[in-house]
Structure 1
Amino acid sequence: DEIIPNITTEYPLIVILDHLEDPHNLGAIVRSSEAFGVDAIIIPNDRSVQITSTVVKTSVGTIEKVKIVNVPNINNAIRKLKDLGYWIVGTDMEGTNYTEIDYKTKIGLVIGNEGKGISKVTADNCDYIAKIPMKGTVNSLNASVACGIFLSEINRSRGI
């Protein structure tokens, strides 16, 4: 029931994974999360990749340094975070340019499923939907790559 584990940072940052399926993506997100100082990663209990040997290997040991919180329902977790003063930023191909959002607050960053993105219910619970503008013909990025880009921008905007 405890979503926020003793976070003492000025601007807490939590990554929320909306039913990711690929263990390589989860491992890479854990690695990037550790590198960028994420306070916790929220993963739903069902219909989502869990911690496996592939995740541990892909995370290159960082799995031990990032708090992983399993929840029965990510939308309930999002509502709880919002009650605690977090702004929830969903990632999608449509939305506000990710560089135009003020990240100098408590942030929950939602990364969607590899094939489906974030669900409509989850998107409806977000305060912002943000996109990474792209120039090429590809209209989406790998979930772990997009997560890394967002985390880098959040740190940059916070002066880190």
Structure 2
Amino acid sequence: MHFVKTLAGQQAFKERHADLPQRLRSAFLLFDGQRSLAQVLEATSAMGVTRDDIMKLVDRQWLAPRESRPPEVASAQAAAAPEPAEPGDAGEGRRQRYRQAYPLAVALTGKLGLKGFRLNLAVEAAMGYEQLAALAPRIREAVGEAAYAPLHKALFAQQP
């Protein structure tokens, strides 16, 4: 099953609602209508996110099945979505890198606490590869070279 964020869910995320703790925020971000529930659960299993946690977000109407997406959300997401890339296109590689690097960047900046609050907000607002790559030097400076290495590999390493 595929879920998408609702307007109420996006507002709860933006306001950092108490019922949306950091581990669920990471999962919430992954629901884009393209990833299945199983894929999101697999990606967030290390954080302890369960199917029941996701179903609570659905019950709160912060997530909705992809097919039942309200028209205003569908049109807003369609307007904001970039043009689909052809397979093998450089854009597809960048999207893949972004999908791999984003959770790492959020985790790294989330661990910084208050001293990294603004950087964490900037990472969470990054809507694509270019924006996340632009934040990479700030993340490296804040977390140190050793902690930054996996993020650097995800963002800049050559993919097969």
The answer, yes or no, to whether TM exceeds 0.5 is no
The one of the two structures with greater contact order (alpha-carbon pairs below 8 A, sep at least 6) is: 1
In terms of fraction of residues, the more strand-rich structure is 1
- Using structure 1 for the length normalisation, give the TM-score: 0.30
**Who wins on radius of gyration, i.e. which is larger?**
2
